[in-house]
Amino acid sequence: MEITDRFIEFTNIVYDRERLEKLYEKVSKYAVDYSEIRKNATEGLFSSIKMEEFEGQDYLDYPEISELVALFNPIAKDIRSGNIAITVYKPGFQFHPHTDFSRKAVIMFPILPADGGRGVDYYDDAILGDDQEFIETDYARMAPGHNEEFYLGTHQYSPIHPTLMNAEKVHGVRNDDQTRVYLQFSLYDTFDVCVERVKSGEFFNEK
């Protein structure tokens, strides 16, 4: 597998995207709109599935998800319902360049569209200006929008293999004309710790 300072595509794991799509079709009615809550950081419609609020079930009650959770062995915090999400980005949605709050890394499983859809943009830290000092802290920081001067490229997620992303590096989303649905596992070990444990094999549970 290729390891960079921002991404690792787990080519040792193949997940069943169509199985996740069928689950999403079943639970999509439980989407909660986050557009207003995140209006300072986003443009467009953005929602997350909140099954426990409507169905009284935990994400881990679904084998489609629990079987994927069982593949990984983080240290700082177990992968459980509070750090699992199915996020839905509507056509034209934009998430301004930012670093994430609290979580250090995230495992991404594209569900829709079938090819993984629009990837994630990544940027030079300088796009944050004076807020660069908050990189690799628990404080999220955001730039006002996409800026070609600091844009480094776009990572295309695999719709076959899950990808680990460094959530403390500046990233953003500029969605196209398709609805983009992803399963996410938030991690609280730093990306560097994850990389070390991937290399040693400790990051993965034996099947």
Round the average pLDDT of the chain to a whole number and report it.
Answer: 87
Residue with tokens 């069982």: 70
The rounded distance, in Å, linking the Cα atoms of 131 and 111 is 33
Instruction: Give the residue-averaged pLDDT of 72-98.
Output: 90
Task: Give 172-203 pLDDT, tens digit per residue.
Answer: 888 889 999 999 999 999 999 999 999 999 99
Instruction: Give the residue-averaged pLDDT of 87-97.
Output: 87
Helical segments of the chain, H only: 17-27, 51-54, 63-69, 191-200
Provide the pLDDT for residue 113.
Answer: 96
Taking 3-state DSSP, the helix, strand and coil percentages for the chain, each rounded to the nearest 5, stand at 25, 30, 45
Model confidence at 58, pLDDT cuts 50, 70, 90, reads confident
- Are 85 and 184 in contact by the 8 Å Cβ rule? The answer is yes
pTM above 0.85, yes or no: yes
- SS3 state at 54: helix
Task: Give 117-156 pLDDT, tens digit per residue.
Answer: 989 999 998 888 776 555 555 555 667 788 899 999 999 9
* 10-14, 32-36, 149-153, 181-185, range with the lowest pLDDT: 32-36
Per-residue CA distances from 163 to 7, 38, 120, 150, 205 (Å): 7, 24, 11, 23, 16
